Amino acid sequence: RPFHQYHKTFAPLNFSDYEAIGRCEQEVPEYFNFASDVLDKWSQIEKERKGPSNPALWWINGKGDEVKWSFEELGFLSQKVANVLSGPCGLQRGDGVLVILPRIPEWWLLNVACMRTGVTIIPGTTQLTAQDICYRLLASKAQCIITTDVLAPAVDSVASKCRFLKTKLIVSESSRAEWLNFSALL
């Protein structure tokens, strides 16, 4: 049974398509952006259907708290985050952003927003030490770092050594000196 009633709309694969792919003859767009070419198309289908839809993102934490976003909501929120990245954070296409977050909904929004803006996302685990963070910032020449208040002190301890780092964005309910607050900007 198909996962979604519109599954054939986006992937009409048949045997001849597989042969074309194998011969490198499949038509590939010159510019592909997952956020606008896939997510926004699903959002449009969702709007046209005018009924209940499957969630695009359904996140549940260990306490049972949950977040459900439709394709339209995920698209809209990712556009707002893209505006935060290109506005207050000053990031442009090709710039690097080191994202060190647990798998919270904001992590997914930032991934899609980076795709929208052409910003290169550099994911990092929350187990990184200050030395690890410094190494990644220097090696990647990232202009921005995004993390939680748990790792912010580690970032602050090495930020002066990272000459390319211009913006620090914190995903937290509280504010911190010299950091932009994600929630407030959103």
pLDDT digits (tens, 9 = 90+) for 75-123: 999 999 999 999 999 999 999 999 999 999 999 999 999 999 999 999 9
**pLDDT (mean) for 129-135:** 96
Task: List Cα–Cα distances, 84 to 38, 87, 169, in angstroms.
Answer: 22, 5, 10
**pLDDT (mean) for 116-135:** 96
Burial code (b: 16+ CB inside 10 Å, e: under 16) for 8-46 equals: eeeeeeeeeeeeeeeeeeeeeeeeeeebeeebbebbebb
Q: Which pLDDT score is estimated for 2?
A: 47
Q: Which pLDDT score is estimated for 20?
A: 65
Write down the domain spans for the chain: 34-181
Pairing of strands 180-181, 96-100: unpaired
**pLDDT (mean) for 163-169:** 96
* Residue with more model confidence, 47 or 158: 158
Query: pTM for this one?
Result: 0.80
Q: Which pLDDT score is estimated for 83?
A: 96
* Residue with more model confidence, 13 or 169: 169
**pLDDT (mean) for 133-161:** 96
Q: Do 57 and 105 touch, CB atoms closer than 8 A?
A: yes
Q: Which pLDDT score is estimated for 32?
A: 81
pLDDT tens per residue, range 27-75: 667 778 888 888 888 888 888 876 667 888 999 998 999 999 988 899 9
Whether residue 169 has pLDDT greater than 60: yes
Residue 97 corresponds to which amino acid?
Answer: V
Whether residue 6 has pLDDT greater than 60: no
Whether residue 180 has pLDDT greater than 70: yes
What CATH code is assigned to 34-181? 3.40.50.980
Please state, in angstroms and rounded to a whole number, the distance separating the CA atoms of residues 141 and 95. Answer: 9
